[in-house]
Amino acid sequence: MASAKSKTVFFCSNCGNEYSKWMGRCPACGEWNTMVEKEVVTGKRPVAASVPGAGRKPMPLKDVSTTAEDRVSLGSAEVDRLLGGGIVKGSLVLMGGEPGIGKSTLSLQLPLGRPELKTLYVTGEESVKQVKMRADRLGGDASNCLIYSETDMDAIIREADSVSPDLLIVDSVQTMYCPGVESTAGSVSQIKEVAAALLRFAKGSGIPVILIGHITKEGTIAGPKILEHIVDVVLQFEGENRGAYRVLRSIKNRFGSTSELAVFEMTGTGLREVENPSEMLIPMHEEGLSGTAVCAMLDGNRPFLFEVQALVSSAVYGTAQRSATGFDVRRLNMLLAVLERRAGFKLGQKDVFLNMAGGLRITDPACDLAVIGAVLSSNFDYCIPSDVCFAGEVGLSGEIRPVSQASRRAVEAARLGFKKIFVSSYTHFDTKPQGIELVKVADIPALVRALFK
């Protein structure tokens, strides 16, 4: 066996990539000034995180048995759905989000709401007393929830082994440390090791683990993106801290879909599940406001409606500003270029600000049409009637393209009282949705004619 030697390497503190020499800019993630120097021991490899049974003989795939009990319900319909029908035994779930968004609240609320599960809640951030105060505020049944204030991973694994809970929650990855690794808690190598230790524990014991991780301002979990490929599931909290609504999105799921999201409202007694997300996302003002348009969007399999807000004003300083919250600013620029070239709207000298209601981040291309609607509405100071919504993608030549599952979007819009939905002329409907008029538009000039006639 090779003897242990040490050498110096450089880690990018943003993405976790390792280099042999220092660089000003990380070639992998493109961030500047993120290199940190670190001494590592070589020659003696640490045990890699591996699934139990590694080293056993290969077996035919058809003989591997899976049973329905492999999942455990966490008692929250929305969280269970997000996970694909409960948490999978032996899985490691990372719950990320900015500080103060509600990660600790949700992870404490789950065991309190489901006392059938024996839970070990490890807190490295708050004292046992603080957790107790929070639990009192949340209500629920705390009889089967053990609180453990510890940051040493060896001790945590030892306790978890002896307690053998149904669920282990670790709050947070940044505060924990493995005594075998010589760097401070929260550093890249510690975060990697802590996650690897928990993964080994989860796979070995079959106990599901929820690991909480803070997100940096760039939006990457735990700073280093490294955690995302170690864990089985990544759930991420989004939303404005100031607002009451928070969106929990699954951005990676080895056991289910990743396009799901769940909406919660922060109340005086914890997070409330919002079963109908349209409730938070559709207009919260009286009719008669220009610059808003409602999009019928789809998250995973669930259609819902939400409001797009735009503000178009003359640029005060030389160059026009473009800013988008919750929407890709490059896509906004592209849509504005299409409006200029294909429909003759001169927006080059205008500032354009775009905002998605509820702090939601939107990637559904069906939102394009509502963005165009909101921009034009603000530009002309014309109010789009409140019973009109949109679902269409916009192409570079100004054509309006059909979107997936248009009829389900239209049905949901009709259910919420919308009277008209703007869709692409090329949309195919198997059956015409009842109670809502389909306004079919082929391109932007047709949209403008239909909207402002």
Q: Using CB under 6 A, count the residues that bind ligand TYD.
A: 15
Closest approach of ligand TYD to the CB of residue 95, in Å: 9
Task: Give yes or no for residue 13 binding ligand TYD (CB under 6 A).
Answer: no
Q: Considering the rule CB under 6 A, would residue 420 count as an interface residue with ligand TYD?
A: no
Q: Smallest distance from the beta carbon of 77 to Mg ion, in angstroms?
A: 23
Q: Which is nearer to ligand TYD, 46 or 139 (CB)?
A: 139
Select 102 or 239, whichever has its Cβ closest to ligand TYD: 102
Q: How far is the CB of 396 from Mg ion (least distance, A)?
A: 44
105 touches Mg ion by CB under 5 A: no
Residue 103 touches ligand TYD, criterion: CB under 6 A: yes
One residue of 55, 268, 288, 318 binding ligand TYD per CB under 6 A: 268
SS3 sequence, the chain?
A: CCCCEEEEEEEECCCCCEECCCCCECCCCCCECCEEEEEEEECCCCCCCCCCCCCCCCCCHHHCCCCHHHEECCCCHHHHHHHCCCEECCCEEEEEECCCCCHHHHHHHHHHHCCCCCEEEEECCCCHHHHHHHHHHHCCCCCCEEEEECCEHHHHHHHHHHHCCCEEEEECHHHCECCCCCCCCCCHHHHHHHHHHHHHHHHHHCCCEEEEEEECCCCCECCCCHHHHHCCEEEEEECCCCCCEEEEEEEEECCCCCCCEEEEEEECCEEEEECCCHHHHCCCCCCCCCCEEEEEEEECCEEEEEEEEEEEEECCCCCCCEEEECCCHHHHHHHHHHHHHHHCCCCCCEEEEEEEHHHCCCCCHHHHHHHHHHHHHHHHCCCCCCCEEECCEECCCCEEECCCCHHHHHHHHHHCCCCEEEEECCCCCCCCCCCCEEEEECEHHHHHHHHHC
Least distance (Å) from ligand TYD to the CB of residue 212? 7
Q: Shortest approach of ligand TYD to residue 374 CB, angstroms?
A: 31
Contacts with ligand TYD in 279-308 (CB under 6 A)? Answer: none
- Of Mg ion, ligand TYD, none, which one does residue 268 interact with (CB within 5 to 8 Å by kind)? ligand TYD
Choose the contact partner of 371 out of ligand TYD, Mg ion, none; CB within 5 to 8 A by kind: none
Count residues binding Mg ion (CB under 5 A): 1
x-marked contacts with ligand TYD along 51-70 as a string, rule CB under 6 A: --------------------
Residue 301 to residue 290: CA distance in whole angstroms: 31
Q: Binder to Mg ion among 13, 14, 17, 104 (CB under 5 A)?
A: 104
By CB under 5 A, tell whether 107 contacts Mg ion.
no
Piece of 131-139, 160-168, 219-227, 384-392 that binds ligand TYD (CB under 6 A):
131-139
By beta-carbon proximity to Mg ion, the closer residue of 104 and 109 is 104
Contact call for residue 99 and ligand TYD (CB under 6 A): yes
Contacted entry of Mg ion, ligand TYD, none for residue 433, CB cut-off 5 to 8 Å set by kind:
none
Q: Does 100 bind ligand TYD (CB under 6 A)?
A: yes
269 binds ligand TYD (CB under 6 A): yes
- Chain residues in the site for Mg ion (CB under 5 A): 104
